[in-house]
Structure 1
Amino acid sequence: MATIEDEIKLIEDEIRNTKYNKATSGHIGKLKAKIARLKDDAVSRAMASSGSGEGYSVKKSGDGTVVLVGFPSVGKSTLLNKLTNTESESAAYAFTTLTVVPGSMEHKGANIQILDIPGLIAGAAMGKGRGKEVIGVVRGADLILLLGDVYNEKHINVLIKELYDAGIRLNKEKPDITISKRGYGGLRFNTVGNSSLDLDDIRPLLADNKIVNADILIRGEVTQDDFIDAMFGNRVYIPAFFAINKVDLVDKETLDQIDKDVTKRFGRPPIMLSAVSGYNIETLKDEIFNQLGFIRIYMKPVGGKPDLEEPLIIREPATVEAVCMKLHRDFVEKFRYAKVWGPSVKHDAQRVGLAHGLIDGDILTVVTRP
């Protein structure tokens, strides 16, 4: 009996063997949607079958959550220990980590939660290995650190494929697509800006998903794959970056080649580090801070001096309203105005409203009604 993987492969072969043009775009789209549905169903079944296993329900904490994703034995547990002083068991054999181990990293005033999860393997999204238990944890991350080592860096693309199959889109903005179902009236299709998709491209996809009456609005350039994702509605869009561990175990020529290979394949260089020796750990901490989009806002009480020792950490895009909400919602409800000193204003002590955008290093005073 054919497995889901076999069925998916047959459809993928048909897509590869079908020449793409305007006449075949609808058919190819239906095939892509069928693959997406098969993968989605398989992942859903795997997630449901895993239950709520011990160690896999982790409450998010701190200013942001980073998940370490890699194959078994690439050094995730050792790296967690180095970043957070958490005692996650590490050893030179696969699957040392059997549960999700959380740690807390303090850096530049930010409290960042780091999660060490069991290593992923090929087929993890479909439930192989411990993939079914950890996919849900990864989907809830604010940032993903894809960790390889000098012996398996060529396999990072396998990790990316597993995350993609689980509905996780890396380093991609969520496409601006709205599908509003209606009870009658057929399909009404509108675009804002340049879009290569038209109604003929998406009508077969909608029909295949039993959507015959709907208002569709697309803003900006989107692909057929983006539209399929929007139909399913359960994709998550998470920033990610790469690091290569154990660089102290090979020579410089090998490291240069790894750096060149990873940069060529993924469009950005990896951070080369050694979790054991601590090499480049501070660089990694800085990159985590930057990738999370943190900025530091220094609060100044009315008539007082600013607290320059303990900044308020907030993620971009940051507004006065976002700061008020982080402090307490009463600051929004009783808000009168704010004063800002720093790079986001034309002059010091400038009065601003809730919508004002803040920049790293700003000093802020919030004035409220009694």
Structure 2
Amino acid sequence: MVTNLPAEARSKWLKYTEAKTPEEKLKALQEFLSAVPKHKGTENLVYWAKKRMAELREEIEERRRRRAGRGGPSYFIEKEGAAQIIMVGLTKCGKSSLLSRLTNAKVEIGDVPYLTRFPVPGMLSYEDIQFQVVEAPSLIPNTESSWNTKVLGLVRNADGLIIIADLSNKPLTQLRTVILELMKSGIHIVKPKGRVVIERTKAVQGIRVITYGKLINCTIDDVRKLLESYRIYNAIVRVYGEVTLDDVEKSVFENVLYKPTLILLNKADKVNHTIIKDVLSKVTTALKKVPVIVTSARTGLGLDYIAPTLFKMLEIIRVYTKEPNSKPSPKPLILKKGATVFDVAKVINEDFIKYFKYAKVWGPSVKYQGMRVGLDHELMDKDIVEIHTTIRAL
């Protein structure tokens, strides 16, 4: 195994996962770190643990300030809409101007460096849903400051990212700097060949492994045994792409995160077409499959492409629910691509899984409209689902 953790370390990790408050989490993580053997296989884990401890200390200190009446605005932004997207970049790249053009947010715009000192949220509409777009304070290059720790904490909690670079001021250097800061915190913007998402839930008994790719040199039973060794007994495990048992173990710690990312090459109105073409070519070559849009907050260039690109990039679908003999809900559930009727039932009411009889589906995922399906039926965007149970009261 990559980490090869002893039983004592695994036991202390469990305490961390069960901790409720930041203080409890910090103490548990300190104990966990002291029990982790120090060797090459644990380097990334140790680095992640130290970064996470720094984030927890910042969170604890901020709570103390707020209790003492010295709080001011908070770095925590409660999620709203279909997904939370964090805008990151270096200072004066145009984040505030873009947020103002894209959303209803009230932002302060000026030429002063690091003008935005706290996260600013706004809502971006796309068809019948909205994305919450949050402007983060600018990253400070080449520093381990608490400022960057807070910004990266926002990023870790987000569903996706928008990285912004100023075309008129060394855009490639800006992108490299931001991406390096993200990678140092275990945040990757290029989709890996394989990844694992572990969702701990009481909605299932045991460990349910759903594969959208394949396991390499291991079996589903191996995955179950590994997770049980970390005292994870009830969970839904989603496997995307080609995944090894090492990848499964890494996902237990969540020390390496993939964040779907859109890159905006901003301030296109300030440079000529030749520069734009050259930068765009270099970025798309270096970051294959990461979407890139050339934008200008002043002229509006490229802004109409942002919302549909986010929807595609996030790999989400909209599913509408309905009760028998009634119209579908106008507000859809937002689920990941590959979601099944099981996922819909879990979101609505976990008892729907226990007493599930069948579901009717209207939409692109079925051969005919109103088709009866089971819990494992994979849904598609704009499907309508009607769940029937053995108990009518549900």
Normalised to the residue count of structure 1, the TM-score between the two structures is 0.72
- Secondary structure of residue in 2 paired with 1:47: helix
Q: What SS is found at the alignment partner of 1:351? A: strand
SS at match of 1:242: strand
Establish whether residue 79 from structure 1 lines up as the match of residue 118 from structure 2.
no
5+ unaligned residues in a row in structure 2: which ranges? 1-37, 63-72, 199-213, 219-228, 231-238
The 3 A distance-change label for structure 1 pair 302 and 32 is closer
Q: Deviation of residue 93 (structure 1)?
A: 2.3
Aligned partners of 1:320 and 1:357 also within 8 Å: yes
> 1:146 matched to which residue of 2?
163
Q: Which residue of 2 aligns with 1:235?
A: 256
Taking a change above 3 Å as real, the CA distance of residues 323 and 284 of structure 1, as seen in their structure-2 partners, is: same
Structure whose CA Rg is larger: 1
Corresponding residue number in structure 2 for 1:253:
274
Is the aligned partner of 1:350 residue 2:371?
yes
1-side partners of 2:193 and 2:288: how far apart? 16
Identify which of 51, 58, 62 aligns with 1:50: 58
Are 1:288 and 2:310 counterparts?
yes
> In the alignment, what sits opposite 2:138?
119
- Deviation, 1:344, is 1.0
1:132 to 143, 146, 149: 149
Q: Name the counterpart of 1:275.
A: 297
Change (3 A) 1:326 1:109: farther
Residue type of the alignment partner of 1:163:
L
Deviation (angstroms), 1:118: 0.6
Letter in 1 for 2:108: E
Cα distance between partner residues in 2 of 1:367 and 1:177: 28
Q: SS where residue 96 of structure 2 aligns?
A: helix
Give the length in aligned residue pairs: 305
- In 2, Cα distance between equivalents of 1:366 and 1:39: 46
Q: What is the CA–CA distance in structure 2 between the aligned matches of 1:340 and 1:227, rounded to whole Å?
A: 33
Tell whether 2:343 aligns with 1:336: no
Letter in 2 for 1:169: H
**Which range moves more in the overlay, 355-364 or 227-236?**
227-236
**Mapped contact 1:176–1:220 kept (Cα < 8 A):** no
Higher RCO structure, 1 or 2 (CA under 8 Å, sep 6+)? 1
1:259 Cα deviation after fit: 0.8
Normalised by the length of structure 2, the TM-score is 0.68
- Cα separation, 2, equivalents of 1:266 and 1:94: 28
RMSD: 3.4
**Where do 1:165-204 residues align within 5 Å?**
165-170=184-189, 171-172=191-192, 175=195, 193=216
- Aligned-pair distance for 1:137? 1.0
CA distance in 1, matches of 2:322, 2:77: 34
SS in 2 for 1:284: helix
Alpha-carbon distance change, 243 to 177 in structure 1, aligned in 2, over 3 angstroms: closer
Residue identity matched to 1:71? L
Instruction: Give, in whole Å, the separation in 2 of the partners of 1:335 and 1:32.
Output: 44
SS in 2 for 1:317: coil
Q: Does 1:362 align with 2:383?
A: yes
Displacement of 1:241 in angstroms is 2.4
Partners of 2:45 and 2:255 within 8 A in 1: no
Q: What CA distance in whole angstroms lies between the structure 1 residues aligned with 2:40 and 2:244?
A: 18
Q: 2:272, 2:112 → 1: CA distance?
A: 24
Report the AA paired with residue 286 of structure 1: P
Q: Which amino acid aligns with 2:302?
A: N
Identity of aligned residues (%): 30
Measure, in 1, the Cα distance between the counterparts of 2:163 and 2:280: 14
Cα 1:329/1:177, change in 2 over 3 Å: closer
Task: Check whether the contact 1:101–1:117 (CA below 8 A) recurs between aligned residues.
Answer: yes
